[in-house]
Structure 1
Amino acid sequence: MQYDCVIVGGGFAGLQAAIQLGRYRHKIAVVDAAEGRSAYCRNYDNLIGWPEGVSGMKLRAAGRLQAERLGVRFIAGTAVTARRRTECFVLELESGEEITGARLLLATGVKDRIPGFRELIPCLGISVYICPDCDGYEVADQQVAVIGSGTAGANMALTLRHWTSRIIYINHETADVPGELLAQLAGQDIPYYEQPVAKIEVEDESQFRGVMLKDGTAIRCSKSFLAFGGNEVRSGLAEQLGAGLTDNRHVITNPRTKLTTADYVWAAGDVTSHSEMVTIAMGDGSQAAIWIHKSLIGTFDGRNP
């Protein structure tokens, strides 16, 4: 069976696109590896209609059900290769299964660099955060430990100064921090520790309570932000199809249509260059879906000039 469009990625950009394309009554498949940022975030607090927050998986489950009611098919798996045939695209999954579609939407997202402390995962979105634009408000006037690496962590600590003056920065990977940034940290009264974290302290499974450093120093905090930089942009499929990438490997798209530089290939969500928030990813998905639909009915070419 050939689909009108295959969407790679079952996060918020992919789900929103699937719902919109389903409402256009197209034949749509979503390849969903059931992973990504939204899979491990336990609470989103900045979404309209959810003042008490909602978990990523709850929102994804609701989105999937809504798409399935519109006839969208979900295929569990990870797409490893993508190639172009004369009139379609062929995706191969890790299982060896092949899926074909006339159009392709890549919503493959970004993989964050998170240190390997198992205690951190249940805290994500509840007491440990990644995005200050999304969750800076959650740490207002509280004691916050930024656990990070080099410049990325220093900049995060300075950014959070907008919400709280009670910040420390732990350079877990002891990466270089320029003297200018160190001076800014000192000027904002942000204590700086350049040594690895040995242990994460958590209460009730999801409440961050502090860290113990390698030298035995114990630091008590109620919230934490992670800032390691070097996140993996999952743009490999786009690259295989010849789509242009930025220097940091985000997929280049037309700002209006979300079409990539590869004909009939769209991209949406955090795999593209945008402010990485749920609401913006959803908007990306809807925007891409509109132009995919136009290309399928012949009112938009779907090719690059």
Structure 2
Amino acid sequence: MEQKNFEVIIVGGSYSGLSAAMSLGRSLRQVLVIDSGLPCNRQTPHSHNFITQDGEKPAVISAKAKLQVDIYKTVQFYKGLAVKADRIEKGFTITTESGDVFTSRKVLFATGVKDLFPEIKGFGECWGISVLHCPYCHGYEVKGEKTAIIANGEMGFEYAKLISNWTKDLRLCTNGKSELTLEQTQVLQNHGVSVLEEEIDSFEHNSGYISNIVFKNGKKADVKAVYARPAFEQHCSLPQDLGCEINEQGYLKVDFMQKTTIPGIYGSGDAATQMRSVALAVSSGSFAGAAINKELIDEDFL
């Protein structure tokens, strides 16, 4: 790749990054998309709740998106990992793991988050297949099935209320002593939700499809689906290296224009919102692309 200077560098080439690239490509902007090729949903068999793409494989959606973005010749792709970022007088430099250095006036981080799995054997193998985070993305496919939620306290209570819309065969696993109030426990029990306080040892599964939760005391719970919201961290530390603030939930702090707290840096997709879905990632990326283009236009008219 000979070109080193761009108007916009997009770090992260999954759904949100590709959506932003299309918006900017259609705005005639010189864009570089840097992507390491490891989307967070790469293990998920099918994507749902994205109109025109419902039930499609995630990799098929992203491959089709990349082909469509590639039509816009001002957009270039670089396969690799961005490892360093610096501010310069008129923008930013991004350095890759291979030592390549690129400059741009604006940067968009569409780098997603990295899930931190609990110490439960089989959790990682089942993640995105039968261990789920979003009922809007996957709840229909396991509607009415024997289902468990791994959560505790206020989050567990609210999560159980939500999932009860998709199945009445539901139990809340607190994975240790319950932190629910007596009133919350009674409400759940009144709605047929049992509370299991035993610590979890492992999941029995077949190629990621769970059959039993195994507790440390040897007991088992027969389930076909589990909902969980594991801890996470930003997949990429470069925004923080540049001074971008992280909000209380752990996401990039952005305003309604997808701007971070550092001028010239934007954030979109899972890195900047707790609403994790392909459809919303695409939406925020498209909007970020338009916002970046508008900022470039305004600067050039000064």
* TM-score, reference length from structure 2: 0.86
Aligned partner of 2:145 in structure 1 is: 142
Aligned partner of 2:239 in structure 1 is: 238
Q: What secondary structure, in the 3-state scheme, does the structure 1 residue paired with 2:254 have?
A: coil
Matched, 1:3 2:43: no
Change (3 A) 1:285 1:141: same
Q: Which runs of 5+ in 1 are unaligned?
A: none
Q: CA deviation at 1:143?
A: 0.9
Aligned partner of 1:48 in structure 2 is: 51
Distance 1:196 1:253 in 2: 38
Change (3 A) 1:249 1:50: closer
Distance 1:86 1:302 in 2: 19
- Structure 2 counterparts to residues 147-296 of structure 1, below 5 A: 147-148=150-151, 151-172=154-175, 174=176, 177-180=179-182, 181-203=184-206, 205-228=207-230, 230-234=231-235, 236-255=237-256, 257-273=257-273, 275-296=275-296
Distance 2:153 2:80 in 1: 35
Cα RMSD of the aligned pairs, angstroms, is 2.7
Q: CA deviation at 1:271?
A: 1.7
Change (3 A) 1:135 1:21: same
Q: What secondary structure, in the 3-state scheme, does the structure 1 residue paired with 2:212 have?
A: strand
Distance 2:188 2:181 in 1: 10
Distance 2:273 2:48 in 1: 23
Amino acid across the alignment from 1:246:
N
Contact kept, 8 Å, 1:22 with 1:67, in 2: the verdict is yes
Matched, 1:299 2:301: no
Contact kept, 8 Å, 1:292 with 1:302, in 2: the verdict is no
Distance 2:169 2:299 in 1: 53
Change (3 A) 1:60 1:121: farther
Change (3 A) 1:301 1:148: farther
Change (3 A) 1:199 1:234: closer
Change (3 A) 1:46 1:273: closer
Contact kept, 8 Å, 2:25 with 2:69, in 1: the verdict is yes
Contact kept, 8 Å, 1:40 with 1:121, in 2: the verdict is no
Deviates more, 1:90-99 or 1:12-21: 90-99
Q: Which runs of 5+ in 2 are unaligned?
A: none
Q: CA deviation at 1:302?
A: 11
Distance 1:67 1:198 in 2: 45
Change (3 A) 1:221 1:270: same
Residues 265-301 of structure 1 deviation map (CA, whole Å, 9 limit, x = unaligned): 11111222353222111111111111212233x2367
Aligned partner of 2:70 in structure 1 is: 68
Distance 2:90 2:245 in 1: 21
Contact kept, 8 Å, 1:145 with 1:167, in 2: the verdict is yes
Distance 1:33 1:153 in 2: 34
Q: What secondary structure, in the 3-state scheme, does the structure 1 residue paired with 2:42 have?
A: helix
Change (3 A) 1:219 1:178: closer
Distance 1:175 1:286 in 2: 44
Amino acid across the alignment from 2:72:
L
Q: What secondary structure, in the 3-state scheme, does the structure 2 residue paired with 1:280 have?
A: helix
Amino acid across the alignment from 1:107:
A
Contact kept, 8 Å, 1:42 with 1:122, in 2: the verdict is no
Q: What secondary structure, in the 3-state scheme, does the structure 2 residue paired with 1:112 have?
A: strand
Contact kept, 8 Å, 1:3 with 1:101, in 2: the verdict is yes
Amino acid across the alignment from 1:86:
E
